[in-house]
Amino acid sequence: MPHALKDQEIAMLRAELEMLMGERQTLLRIAGAAATFVAELDADVLPENTLEAAEMLAECINTAPEETMRDALEIVKAEVAGA
């Protein structure tokens, strides 16, 4: 494989990886915010359809690996502390 082609492939992979890492950060922020939101809800005062949506969101959050959620909550805490 010519050296220039290999360098181009490496640059493309690096750009793709950077894009994926940026998307991961965005998704972690969303997951952390969603988890924080669900934790603050009061099930006793929510309308039934809202409660069902919150339960569905909580179930989705609960499927995430513990380390991922820890990262997500740390991002949200850092953003709230920096606000």
Give the tens place of pLDDT for each residue, 50-77: 999 999 999 999 999 999 999 999 999 9
pLDDT band at residue 41, thresholds of 50, 70 and 90? very high
- Closest by CA position to 54, among listed 72, 42, 71: 42
Whole-model pTM: value is 0.80
Query: Does the pLDDT value for residue 80 go beyond 80?
Result: no
Q: Which tokens hold the place of 79?
A: 């953003």
How many domains is the chain built from? 1
Q: At what angle do helices 66-82 and 3-40 cross, to 10 degrees?
A: 80
Residue 40 belongs to domain spanning: 3-82
